[in-house]
Amino acid sequence: MVLALDVHYKDDGSAKSVGILFNWNDTQPKEILIEYIKETDEYIPGEFYKRELPCLLKIIEKVNINDLEAIVIDGYVYINNEKGLGLGGYLWKALNKQIPVIGVAKNFYHGNTETTHQIYRGKSKKPLYISSVGLELSAASDFIMQMPGEFRIPDLLKQLDIITKEK
Protein backbone atom coordinates (compact mmCIF):
# COMPACT_ATOMS: atom_id res chain seq x y z
CA MET A 1 0.00 0.00 0.00
CA VAL A 2 0.96 3.60 -0.58
CA LEU A 3 -0.07 6.51 1.65
CA ALA A 4 -0.43 9.96 0.11
CA LEU A 5 -0.73 12.92 2.47
CA ASP A 6 -1.85 16.53 2.28
CA VAL A 7 -2.79 19.33 4.69
CA HIS A 8 -5.06 22.34 4.28
CA TYR A 9 -4.80 25.29 6.69
CA LYS A 10 -7.68 27.51 7.70
CA ASP A 11 -7.58 31.18 8.62
CA ASP A 12 -8.30 30.41 12.28
CA GLY A 13 -5.03 28.45 12.66
CA SER A 14 -6.66 25.04 12.43
CA ALA A 15 -5.90 22.44 9.78
CA LYS A 16 -7.34 19.42 8.04
CA SER A 17 -4.89 16.62 7.41
CA VAL A 18 -5.86 13.89 4.95
CA GLY A 19 -4.31 10.64 3.86
CA ILE A 20 -5.39 8.19 1.21
CA LEU A 21 -4.29 4.57 1.04
CA PHE A 22 -3.98 2.98 -2.40
CA ASN A 23 -1.94 0.76 -4.68
CA TRP A 24 -0.03 2.36 -7.56
CA ASN A 25 -2.51 1.30 -10.25
CA ASP A 26 -5.71 2.09 -8.29
CA THR A 27 -8.21 4.62 -9.58
CA GLN A 28 -9.96 5.04 -6.21
CA PRO A 29 -8.53 5.18 -2.68
CA LYS A 30 -8.76 2.00 -0.62
CA GLU A 31 -9.25 4.15 2.47
CA ILE A 32 -9.46 7.85 3.32
CA LEU A 33 -8.10 9.06 6.65
CA ILE A 34 -8.95 12.51 8.03
CA GLU A 35 -7.70 14.34 11.08
CA TYR A 36 -8.75 17.82 12.20
CA ILE A 37 -6.10 19.77 14.07
CA LYS A 38 -7.46 22.62 16.20
CA GLU A 39 -4.24 24.56 16.43
CA THR A 40 -1.10 24.56 14.28
CA ASP A 41 2.21 26.36 14.55
CA GLU A 42 2.56 29.57 12.61
CA TYR A 43 4.24 29.44 9.24
CA ILE A 44 7.91 30.43 9.45
CA PRO A 45 9.63 31.03 6.10
CA GLY A 46 12.26 28.37 5.52
CA GLU A 47 10.82 26.18 8.29
CA PHE A 48 7.55 25.06 6.73
CA TYR A 49 8.14 21.50 7.91
CA LYS A 50 7.69 22.58 11.54
CA ARG A 51 4.08 23.46 10.78
CA GLU A 52 3.27 20.62 8.38
CA LEU A 53 5.09 17.63 9.87
CA PRO A 54 2.94 17.27 13.03
CA CYS A 55 -0.19 17.31 10.85
CA LEU A 56 1.17 14.53 8.62
CA LEU A 57 2.21 12.44 11.60
CA LYS A 58 -1.39 12.55 12.95
CA ILE A 59 -2.50 10.62 9.86
CA ILE A 60 0.48 8.26 9.92
CA GLU A 61 -0.45 7.30 13.50
CA LYS A 62 -3.64 5.78 12.06
CA VAL A 63 -1.86 3.24 9.84
CA ASN A 64 0.56 0.38 10.28
CA ILE A 65 3.67 1.77 8.62
CA ASN A 66 4.96 -1.78 8.13
CA ASP A 67 2.19 -2.20 5.54
CA LEU A 68 3.41 0.79 3.51
CA GLU A 69 5.54 0.60 0.40
CA ALA A 70 5.97 4.39 0.28
CA ILE A 71 4.55 7.72 1.40
CA VAL A 72 3.78 10.45 -1.15
CA ILE A 73 3.75 14.09 -0.07
CA ASP A 74 2.89 17.34 -1.79
CA GLY A 75 6.30 19.00 -1.78
CA TYR A 76 9.99 18.23 -1.83
CA VAL A 77 12.19 15.67 -0.11
CA TYR A 78 15.26 17.87 -0.68
CA ILE A 79 15.22 21.62 -1.21
CA ASN A 80 18.57 21.97 -2.93
CA ASN A 81 21.37 20.13 -4.71
CA GLU A 82 23.24 19.73 -1.41
CA LYS A 83 20.36 17.61 -0.10
CA GLY A 84 19.09 20.15 2.39
CA LEU A 85 15.97 18.58 3.82
CA GLY A 86 12.52 19.56 2.68
CA LEU A 87 9.28 18.33 4.22
CA GLY A 88 9.75 14.83 2.80
CA GLY A 89 13.26 14.53 4.20
CA TYR A 90 12.10 15.59 7.66
CA LEU A 91 9.23 13.11 7.47
CA TRP A 92 11.64 10.31 6.52
CA LYS A 93 13.82 11.16 9.52
CA ALA A 94 10.79 11.37 11.84
CA LEU A 95 9.85 7.84 10.71
CA ASN A 96 13.37 6.58 11.53
CA LYS A 97 14.13 6.18 7.81
CA GLN A 98 11.83 3.13 7.65
CA ILE A 99 9.55 4.08 4.76
CA PRO A 100 10.54 5.64 1.41
CA VAL A 101 9.14 9.13 0.89
CA ILE A 102 8.32 10.56 -2.53
CA GLY A 103 7.84 14.26 -3.01
CA VAL A 104 5.58 15.49 -5.81
CA ALA A 105 5.93 19.24 -6.24
CA LYS A 106 4.01 21.38 -8.70
CA ASN A 107 6.46 24.28 -8.74
CA PHE A 108 10.21 24.50 -9.28
CA TYR A 109 12.27 25.34 -6.22
CA HIS A 110 15.38 27.32 -7.21
CA GLY A 111 18.71 25.53 -6.97
CA ASN A 112 17.12 22.10 -6.91
CA THR A 113 18.07 20.41 -10.15
CA GLU A 114 20.20 17.43 -9.08
CA THR A 115 17.83 15.95 -6.49
CA THR A 116 14.69 16.03 -8.63
CA HIS A 117 13.35 14.60 -11.86
CA GLN A 118 10.92 16.49 -14.01
CA ILE A 119 8.12 14.38 -15.41
CA TYR A 120 5.52 15.39 -17.96
CA ARG A 121 2.18 13.64 -17.72
CA GLY A 122 -0.64 13.76 -20.23
CA LYS A 123 -0.46 16.68 -22.62
CA SER A 124 0.86 19.09 -20.02
CA LYS A 125 3.78 21.29 -20.96
CA LYS A 126 4.41 21.96 -17.26
CA PRO A 127 6.33 19.29 -15.31
CA LEU A 128 5.91 17.78 -11.90
CA TYR A 129 9.09 17.79 -9.81
CA ILE A 130 9.72 14.42 -8.22
CA SER A 131 12.13 13.83 -5.36
CA SER A 132 12.63 10.80 -3.13
CA VAL A 133 14.53 9.27 -0.26
CA GLY A 134 14.73 5.57 0.56
CA LEU A 135 13.86 4.79 -3.06
CA GLU A 136 15.77 5.43 -6.26
CA LEU A 137 14.66 8.69 -7.85
CA SER A 138 14.08 7.01 -11.21
CA ALA A 139 11.79 4.40 -9.60
CA ALA A 140 9.87 7.10 -7.71
CA SER A 141 9.44 9.07 -10.94
CA ASP A 142 8.23 5.95 -12.76
CA PHE A 143 5.65 5.23 -10.04
CA ILE A 144 4.20 8.75 -10.27
CA MET A 145 4.38 8.76 -14.06
CA GLN A 146 2.42 5.51 -14.29
CA MET A 147 -0.34 6.44 -11.84
CA PRO A 148 -3.77 6.53 -13.50
CA GLY A 149 -4.97 9.80 -14.97
CA GLU A 150 -4.76 11.68 -18.24
CA PHE A 151 -3.58 14.96 -16.80
CA ARG A 152 -0.50 16.48 -15.17
CA ILE A 153 -1.60 15.53 -11.67
CA PRO A 154 -2.40 11.82 -11.15
CA ASP A 155 -6.11 11.28 -10.48
CA LEU A 156 -5.65 10.02 -6.91
CA LEU A 157 -3.43 12.95 -5.95
CA LYS A 158 -6.02 15.33 -7.41
CA GLN A 159 -8.73 13.57 -5.38
CA LEU A 160 -6.60 13.93 -2.27
CA ASP A 161 -6.24 17.67 -2.89
CA ILE A 162 -10.02 18.06 -3.32
CA ILE A 163 -10.82 16.06 -0.16
CA THR A 164 -8.29 18.05 1.84
CA LYS A 165 -9.86 21.37 0.84
CA GLU A 166 -13.47 20.28 1.41
CA LYS A 167 -15.13 21.58 4.58
CATH number at residue 60: 3.30.2170.10
What confidence score (pLDDT) does residue 47 get?
75
The alpha-carbon radius of gyration of the chain (Å, integer) is 15
pLDDT per residue as tens digits for the range 11-45: 898 999 999 999 999 999 999 999 999 988 777 77
Check whether 53 has a pLDDT greater than 90: yes
Cα atoms in the 13 Å half-sphere on the side-chain side of 55 = 28
What confidence score (pLDDT) does residue 48 get?
74
Mean pLDDT of the chain: 94
What confidence score (pLDDT) does residue 141 get?
98
pLDDT per residue as tens digits for the range 104-153: 999 998 878 999 999 999 999 999 999 999 999 999 999 999 999 999 99
The candidate with the shortest Cα–Cα distance to 160, out of 8, 2, 10, 18, is 18
What confidence score (pLDDT) does residue 143 get?
98
The residues, ordered by sequence, that sit 6+ positions from 92 with a Cβ below 8 Å of its Cβ are 77, 99, 100, 101, 133, 134
Tell me which residue range forms the domain holding 136.
Answer: 2-165
Structural domains counted in the chain: 1
Give the mean pLDDT of 54-68. Answer: 97
pLDDT per residue as tens digits for the range 94-110: 999 999 999 999 999 88
What confidence score (pLDDT) does residue 28 get?
97
